[in-house]
Amino acid sequence: MNPQENNPAHQHARAFETAAELLTAPNALIHLTLEEARVVVGYMSPQFIPADTTFIREGDAVDEGFMALLLEGEVVVESVTVSRTEPLTIRVLGPGSLVGEVGLVDKEPRSASCTTSADSLCAILTRDSLEALINDEPRIGAKLLLAIAARLAERLRDNARKLRLYAKLAKAMQLEIDRSLVPPGR
């Protein structure tokens, strides 16, 4: 083992480069060059989050506007739906995923809870850091915001598709209930 690998400065540099590479990966919605991604990552800070830690809580109204880029580990995104008391898993995210981007751009309560299911390393971008990036590097800041907006639009479209499906299911269930309530022979 290379003794330098345990050096915090080396680990920070490695996390910095991993974050930049993930931001430029072909499946990333953020279409940045490696140099642009390195600029963005310069405004982020690495954070280790132990397994089974809920770092974003649904309904939390405390303004902790930040977004996390998952570098290592896994995050379970959950929400409590209207008819349930236990949370429903919305998705499981792995390295390269953005977490909490809605909270980065608005000051509303968090819409879901995020819990690490394994030890995780994230690169955190706070709202203050985003504003500094926009002031210092407006072109790169604009590309980042457009990418976040595209990610949110994609989720909105996905939710609209799900709502249409749920509406069809509810209608079919209601028709079945109505048919079962009609007395035989009528």
135 found inside a domain: yes
56 found inside a domain: yes
The pTM for the full model equals: 0.77
Domain that holds residue 22: 3-181
- CATH, residue 18: 2.60.120.10
Q: How many domains does the chain have?
A: 1
* pLDDT tens-digit map of 105-120: 888 888 889 999 999 9
110 found inside a domain: yes
* pLDDT tens-digit map of 27-83: 665 678 889 999 999 999 999 999 999 999 888 877 678 999 999 999 999 887 666
Number of Cβ within a 10 Å radius of residue 151: 16
Question: Are the C-beta atoms of 73 and 120 separated by less than 8 Å?
Answer: yes
Range from 16-25, 40-49, 147-156 that averages highest in pLDDT: 40-49
186 found inside a domain: no
Q: What is the mean pLDDT of residues 12-21?
A: 82
| Token duo for residue 177 | 């209930």
